[in-house]
Amino acid sequence: MIRIQNIPIFIFLVLLQISLCECSKEEAVPVVADFSTTVVAEDYSVPVQVVISNRSEGAEEYEWTFEGGEPSTSVQRNPGTILYKNPGEYTITLQATNRDGSKDQKEITLNLDAPVIIDFKAEIQMDNFAPVTVGLTNTSIGATTYQWSFEGGSPATTDQKDPGNVVFEQPGEHKIMLEISNGRETYTKDTTITVAPFLIADFDWEVDFQDKDLQAPVQLSLQNKSNSATSYQWAFQGGTPLDTTEENPTVVFTTVGVHNMTLTATNGKETKSITKTITVLPDTNIKVFENIHLGINTAHNTNVIGSFFSGYTEQVYSKSQVTPDNGARIDLVFFGLNSGFSFNRFYAPNTLDDTTFDAIPNATHTKMINVMEACACGVSLTVAQFDSMTDDSVLRGLTITETVDGLQPFDNSVVPRIILFETADGRKGALKIKKYVSDGQNSYIETDIKIQKLPN
């Protein structure tokens, strides 16, 4: 038998085999199971997404168990993202092994919250006139604490889940804000309610165009300028009507003197009144126009200075301004032939055939007396009488008779000159030519006109 240093060879082989086996056991790889979890967006309110990161060492096989998750199991090294739809406490378990038989296990517990949804209703009770009561209904879910703030309200804050009613005394915009939390997440929401301005009663008026001289009768269109009112009561001393509940009424005063107009406005919480007065003057039944310019035919036809006058609309019209609507309102037509004023004549609106003017649509006939001194019509009006005329008494006494001689043209040799007329609806009037202004094609006469408002 072979000996090695006095050791039999078979004993040596046995010892070598034992040594090799012991070395093999010492080289087996241990398994360390490890992983981490990340909640997506740090949102722990379901639905929750959890990302798994495997950090295990020495493992070759993995068994995952996701309690309450989707999926519920996996054998992948990196199972990806797990979805949790319901709140609660859930365990994630990893068991890792290798072919050497090594294994290890790790667990992580997740606490997932119920969904947190913030919402509330702010409902104005009755109306938005100060003071305003707002009823609050909290419809939030998943929260454990609540903090309310009411800008300008009473109370100003509260931590009650359901604060009930809040009162806002002052007009303007007021913010209502709610902050909720479940201990881990916080949410806020706000809304704004508007309190209407304090009640104000106020009004103004416009005088009918034909009554702007405030001579009886006078018609007014009332303009209600009240704030935060829901109903109105008007009272008109000496007016027609005497009272009304219209928002913007019309009233007529037929008697001379000072008249009270009272508006009472209310909104159900407040009532306020205001009174204003209007003074109605005696009726002179006359309109007075001063410094009216009437152009010669070239000025009229080039639309620089018109030659047509309406006592009703109180306007002078040039060629381009005449329409079928205002044509029937034109009372006087001045025709001046040239800047030397050698031929001048006032025409009835419906007798323009022998002039350079276009026919007036819907024209009416005005009786004219251009030359009183030649008319042989038994009528006269001096310049002094014209100037002192403050009512229509003188005009009422005139009988306007149209004659061939009275229609004759005149020149500029007599200044001032009085022209008499009577409109188709019976309004009598007088015109005084004060100046003949020579300005080439834009020449004109300057006049004063006095005409009855209504025929007598």
User: What is the domain-level CATH number for residue 186?
Assistant: 2.60.40.10
Residue found by looking up tokens 């009663």 in the block: 201
pLDDT in the model for residue 290:
98
Q: In this structure, are 216 and 365 located in the same domain?
A: no
Q: In this structure, are 8 and 77 located in the same domain?
A: no
Q: In this structure, are 12 and 43 located in the same domain?
A: no
Q: In this structure, are 106 and 162 located in the same domain?
A: no
Residues 6 or more apart whose Cβ sits within 8 Å of residue 276: 203, 260, 261
Phi (first) and psi of residue 287, to 5 degrees: -110, 135
pLDDT in the model for residue 23:
46
For residue 334, what are the β-bridge partners?
Answer: 346
Q: In this structure, are 213 and 316 located in the same domain?
A: no
Q: In this structure, are 249 and 292 located in the same domain?
A: no
Q: In this structure, are 321 and 439 located in the same domain?
A: yes
456 residues of the chain, pLDDT tens digit each: 444 455 556 555 555 555 554 544 456 899 999 999 999 999 999 999 999 999 999 999 999 999 999 999 999 999 999 999 999 999 999 999 999 999 999 999 999 999 999 999 999 998 999 999 999 999 999 999 999 999 999 999 999 999 999 999 999 999 999 999 999 999 999 999 999 999 999 999 999 999 999 999 999 999 999 999 999 999 999 999 999 999 999 999 999 999 999 999 999 999 999 999 999 999 999 999 999 999 999 999 999 999 999 999 999 999 999 999 999 999 999 999 999 999 999 999 999 998 999 999 999 999 999 999 999 999 999 999 999 999 999 999 999 999 999 999 999 999 999 999 999 999 999 999 999 999 999 999 999 999 999 998
Domain count, the chain: 5
pLDDT in the model for residue 450:
98
pTM given for the model:
0.68
Q: Which amino acid is at 31?
A: V
Query: β-pairing, 61-66 with 73-74?
Result: antiparallel
Q: In this structure, are 298 and 415 located in the same domain?
A: yes
**Which residues form the domain of 181?**
120-195
Rounded distance between C-alpha atoms, residue 97 and residue 78, angstroms? 15
Question: Is the distance from CB of 429 to CB of 367 less than 8 angstroms?
Answer: no
Q: In this structure, are 304 and 319 located in the same domain?
A: yes
Residue found by looking up tokens 């119920």 in the block: 114
Q: In this structure, are 312 and 440 located in the same domain?
A: yes
Domain boundary among 46, 77, 112: 112
Q: In this structure, are 40 and 11 located in the same domain?
A: no
CA 139 vs. chain centroid, Å, equals 33
Q: In this structure, are 249 and 107 located in the same domain?
A: no
Extract the tokens encoding 169. 């005394």
Domain boundary among 91, 112, 133: 112
pLDDT in the model for residue 372:
96
pLDDT one-digit tens code per residue, 405-442: 999 999 999 999 999 999 999 999 999 999 999 999 99
pLDDT in the model for residue 456:
84
pLDDT one-digit tens code per residue, 211-243: 999 999 999 999 999 999 999 999 999 999 999
Domain boundary among 148, 175, 195: 195
Nearest Cα to Cα of residue 204 among 253, 249, 252? 249
HEC profile of the chain? CCEECCEEHHHHHHHHHHHHHHHHHHCCCCCECCEEEEEHHHCCECCEEEEEEECCECCCEEEEEECCEECCEECCCCCCEEEECCCEEEEEEEEEECCCCCEEEEEEEEEEECCCECCEEEEEECCCECCEEEEEEECCECCCEEEEEECCEECCEECCCCCCEEEECCCEEEEEEEEEECCCCEEEEEEEEEEECCCECCEEEEECHHHCCCECCEEEEEEECCECCCEEEEEECCEECCEECCCCCEEEECCCEEEEEEEEEECCCCEEEEEEEEEEECCCCEEEEEEEEEECHHHHHCCCCCCEEECCCCEEECHHHCCHHHHCCCCEEEEECCCCCCCEEEECCCCCCCCCCCCCCCCCCCEEECCHHHHCCCCCCCHHHHHHCCCCHHHHCCCCCCCCCCCCCECCCCCCEEEEEECCCCCEEEEEEEEEECECECCEEEEEEEEECCCC
